[in-house]
């Protein structure tokens, strides 16, 4: 178990990780809500996609990445990936102990959707790993047994978005054919349970024409990060933050794609943490 950190904590960065660059949607939302916070982001591009990996592999990657973020003196760890949150949240929490708070992307969203008045049937779309774990249904039912939950694996969406296919004919066709699924009929809200999906949110909204409430994790998780930092007196003072964005495998195309996820192009640094 990692040691508890005690001094100058508020000045330290927030650690964020994902299988790749999808988690940058969460990092971007955090940066908007908390403009003084420095961020250390790790995208495990060498092992992407997590959606098809075994729980054991994801747990191993998540521990090694958390170890790296703690070495970077991070004051909090945010698991900005639904698949890693579904499979490794408890493992990361056990590993980190009380050294720093750990935030996943599932619990804040579940609390948010179960608080929506009048909701009867909630749809969930995500990677094969997230949907197979059935974690949203389990957590939603633990809060409210009466809510119906319909989950659908949509494995083409993350690679499609990563390749820059969104807001065009191809993406509309793929999104439409998933959302046409009978499983999702009569839903009143839809959880976009993958950190890549905020990029297709406008197309999903167009599909439902305002009849279904669309919930993505970025904003909800950023608000949770803010409240947990405040509770722990860890909010950074007013300052110009310094961000670092690391990846386990570097390609020019990853770096080009960051613009879509973070709203500005960022410099990615390759880091080998597996030695
Ligand atoms: N960003 C990951 C998530 O939220 C999906 C991509 C992957 O399969 O690695 O689940």
49 lines ligand 1 (CB under 6 A): yes
Report pLDDT for 6. Answer: 41
Q: Does residue 178 lie within any of the structural domains?
A: yes
Inform me whether the pLDDT recorded for 7 exceeds 60: no
* Same structural domain, 243 and 213: no
Q: Does residue 150 lie within any of the structural domains?
A: yes
In this prediction, residues 19-27 reach a mean pLDDT of 94
B/e letters for 26-55, b = 16+ CB within 10 Å, e = fewer, are: bbbbbbebbeebbbbbbbbbbbbbbbebee
pLDDT digits (tens, 9 = 90+) for 25-45: 999 999 999 999 999 999 999
In this prediction, residues 212-218 reach a mean pLDDT of 95
Ligand 1, residue 18: give the atom nearest the CA.
Answer: 1
Q: Which token pair is 190?
A: 């839809």
Report pLDDT for 274. Answer: 85
Report pLDDT for 195. Answer: 94
Q: Does residue 253 lie within any of the structural domains?
A: yes
117 vs 272, which has greater pLDDT? 272
Mean pLDDT computed over every residue of the chain: 93
User: Looking at residue 213, which CATH number applies to its domain?
Assistant: 3.40.50.1860
Residue of the nearest CA to atom 6 in ligand 1? 49
Inform me whether the pLDDT recorded for 268 exceeds 70: yes
Substitution site in 53, 81, 133 for ligand 1 pocket (most atoms within 8 Å of beta carbon): 81
Share of the chain above pLDDT 70, in %: 97
Domain, as residue range, for 227: 7-104+219-270
- Asked if 74 is an active-site residue, the reply is no
Report pLDDT for 231. Answer: 96
* Same structural domain, 209 and 237: no
* Same structural domain, 122 and 160: yes
DSSP 86-99: HHHHHHHHHHHTTS
Q: What is the largest CA-CA distance in the chain?
A: 54
Inform me whether the pLDDT recorded for 3 exceeds 70: no
As for how many domains the chain has, the answer is 2
* Same structural domain, 229 and 98: yes
* Same structural domain, 178 and 233: no
DSSP 49-114: -GGGS-HHHHHHHHHHHHHHHHHTT-SEEEE--HHHHHHHHHHHHHHHTTSS-EE-SSHHHHHHHH
Last residue of a domain, one of 218, 233, 255: 218
pLDDT digits (tens, 9 = 90+) for 71-108: 999 999 999 999 999 999 999 999 999 999 999 999 99
pLDDT digits (tens, 9 = 90+) for 235-258: 999 999 999 999 999 988 888 888
Ligand 1, residue 195: give the atom nearest the CA.
Answer: 4
Q: How confident is the model at residue 264 (pLDDT cuts 50, 70, 90)?
A: confident
Active-site annotation holder among 137, 187, 194, 222: 194
Report pLDDT for 154. Answer: 97
Substitution site in 24, 25, 82, 247 for ligand 1 pocket (most atoms within 8 Å of beta carbon): 82
Query: How far is the first Cα of the chain from the last one, in angstroms, to the nearest whole number?
Result: 20
Ligand 1, residue 158: give the atom nearest the CA.
Answer: 6
Q: Does residue 2 lie within any of the structural domains?
A: no
* Same structural domain, 111 and 213: yes
* Same structural domain, 40 and 175: no
Q: Does residue 13 lie within any of the structural domains?
A: yes
CA of 5 to the centre of ligand 1 (A): 30
Q: How confident is the model at residue 54 (pLDDT cuts 50, 70, 90)?
A: very high
In this prediction, residues 54-73 reach a mean pLDDT of 97
Inform me whether the pLDDT recorded for 263 exceeds 90: no
- Asked if 194 is an active-site residue, the reply is yes
pLDDT digits (tens, 9 = 90+) for 150-207: 999 999 999 899 888 999 999 999 999 999 999 999 999 999 999 999 999 999 999 9
Inform me whether the pLDDT recorded for 70 exceeds 90: yes
Active-site annotation holder among 21, 81, 150, 161: 81
Q: Does residue 147 lie within any of the structural domains?
A: yes
Report pLDDT for 237. Answer: 94
Substitution site in 29, 89, 196, 218 for ligand 1 pocket (most atoms within 8 Å of beta carbon): 196
Q: How confident is the model at residue 1 (pLDDT cuts 50, 70, 90)?
A: low
């Amino acid at each position: 178990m990692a040691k508890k950190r005690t001094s100058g904590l508020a000045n330290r960065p927030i650690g964020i990780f994902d299988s790749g660059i999808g988690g940058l949607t969460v990092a971007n939302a955090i940066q908007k809500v908390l403009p003084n916070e420095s961020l250390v982001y790790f995208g495990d591009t060498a092992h992407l996609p997590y959606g098809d990996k075994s729980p054991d592999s994801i747990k191993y990657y998540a521990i090694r990445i958390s170890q790296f973020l703690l070495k970077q003196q991070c004051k909090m760890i945010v698991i900005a990936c639904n698949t890693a949150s579904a499979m490794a949240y408890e493992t990361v929490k056990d590993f980190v102990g009380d050294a720093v708070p750990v935030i996943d992307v599932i619990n804040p969203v579940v609390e948010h959707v179960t608080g929506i008045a009048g909701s009867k049937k909630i749809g969930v779309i995500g990677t094969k790993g997230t949907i197979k774990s059935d974690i949203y249904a389990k957590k939603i039912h633990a809060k409210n047994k009466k809510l119906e939950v319909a989950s659908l694996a949509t494995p083409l969406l993350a690679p499609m978005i990563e390749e820059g296919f969104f807001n065009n004919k191809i993406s509309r066709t793929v999104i439409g054919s998933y959302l046409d699924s009978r499983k999702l009929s009569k839903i009143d809200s839809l959880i976009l349970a993958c950190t890549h999906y905020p990029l297709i949110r406008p197309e999903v909204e167009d599909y439902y024409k305002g009849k279904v409430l669309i919930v993505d994790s970025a904003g909800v998780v950023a608000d949770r990060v803010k409240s947990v930092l405040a509770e722990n007196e860890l909010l950074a003072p007013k300052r110009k933050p310094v961000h670092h964005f690391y990846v386990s495998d570097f390609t020019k195309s990853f770096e080009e794609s960051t613009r879509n996820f973070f709203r500005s192009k960022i410099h990615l640094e390759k880091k080998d943490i597996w030695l």
